[in-house]
Every structure is written in C-alpha cells, then in structure tokens.
Amino acid sequence: MSQKRIAKEFGDLQKTPLDGIKIILPNEADMLQWQITMEGPKGSAYEGGNFVLSLSLPKEYPFKPPTLSFKTKIYHPNVTNDDKGSMCLGLLRPDEWKPSSKIDTVLEFARGLLVDPQPDDAVEQGIAREYRENRKEFLKTAKAWVKQYAKK
C-alpha cells in the first residue's frame, strides 16, 4: 500500500509542482528516498538560495512519518546546525503524525518555516535567541550562509 500511495503522491507532485520546489528520485528504484530542491522564498532571509533537502519515507508510510533533513547548510533556529541538518517539524513527530497528512503539506510547512522561523520550537537555541533579540544580526548571518552554501 505504501508504494502505491508514495507513487501517487510523487506523481501528483510532478504533475502540479509546488511553488519553488523540485523533486527528484536520486535512485529510481528506491521510492523511499526523495531529493528536494527548495528555493529560498522571496522576501525571506533565504531568498536567492537553493536548498537541497532529503526526504526519507519509512516502509510503514503513511502510518509512520517521513523524515526531512537539509543537505545544504542553513542558518535557521529549527534546523540542526550539524551534518544531519534535521528539521524540527511538529507535523513529523511520531505521535503527531497523521496518516492523512501528505508530503506536499510537509513540504509546504518546511517552506513556511523558511519564511517564518519558530524560535519557540527551536532546536538551535542560540540561533533562536538571536532571532528573537537581534533580528538584524540573524538576517546578516543567514544571508551570509546563503551566499556561502546555497548559491545557485
């Protein structure tokens, strides 16, 4: 069942792509690993950047949530600042995940998070504090990181 649903969701996303989001399968045979290229939303600190994300779906999908991680380094309170780049998305927590949620929702949330970081749900407390207290400095660093790591 999971294969069928994943194929359907993938097909839908290819047919009607989300704004600024490109999806490819790095390995044609493996439907469970998606590679996503997300443009930094206009007006956000990440504008002009191209972020590569990896979405991995569990075998039990849709009963278990997928995991989303940034492959491109990003200065963001909700993304771990390590080589994993795990993204903290409430939607993706095992006990909050609903099988009726779809991947396009997940991706839209991720993009929404770029527009509007959630310092209260932060995984990087230092960045969150900066975001709250010194927005100017935050924007400067975030933009510098975009230039350094996420140039097109």
Partner 1 sequence: MAAQNVDTFVIGFSDPAIPNPDPIRSRVNVSQAFDLSINNVVTLSTNTANGNDDIAGLLYVPTLSPTDPCANASKQYVPNNVTRLENLPPTQYQYKYTAFAPWFSAECTKSYLAAIVPPNIITSFIFYQPSSNTDASPPGPSDPTWGLQDGGSWKKNNPFPVYAIPGSNGAFFMQQLAQYSGNTSQAPNSDLLSKEFSPSDYIRVFSTFTTASGTSLPTLWAFLLIVLGVVLVLVAITSFAMHFIQRRARRDLQRRLQNGEVPLEWLGIKAPRMTQEDVDALPLGPYIPNENKPTLPLNDNSESTTAPASPQKGSTAQQKDGTIQPPPSAATSPQDYNQPTCPICLEDYIPHSTRVRSLPCHHIYHPDCIDRYLLRTSSLCPICKTKVVPPSHGIGRVALPRINNTMVRRERYARRLAQRTDQPSGGGNGYGEPQSLVPFSGSGGFRRWVRRVPGVGFVGTALLAREPNPSTAATAGEGPQRRQQPTESQIEMGAIGSSSRPNQRPFAGTAAAADNAAPSSPNGAAAEQNNAAAPVPDAPPPADAESRREWARRRASALLGRHPGPNDNDDSAAVADQITAAEPDEARRPGWRKAVGKAFPGFR
Residue ranges in contact with partner 1 by CB under 8 A: 1, 4-5, 8-9, 60, 62-63, 78, 88-91, 93, 95-96, 98-102, 109, 112-113, 115-118, 120-123, 125
Whether 56 is catalytic: no
Nearest distance from residue 143's CB to partner 1, in Å? 20
Q: How far is 29 from 5, CA to CA, in rounded Å?
A: 16
Nearest distance from residue 119's CB to partner 1, in Å? 10
Q: Which is nearer to partner 1, 17 or 90 (CB)?
A: 90
CB 119 within 8 A of CB 132: yes
Catalytic residue among 36, 38, 57, 88: 88
Direct distance between the N- and C-terminal alpha carbons of the chain, in angstroms, rounded to an integer: 37
Q: Which is nearer to partner 1, 113 or 142 (CB)?
A: 113
Nearest distance from residue 51's CB to partner 1, in Å? 16
Catalytic residues: 88
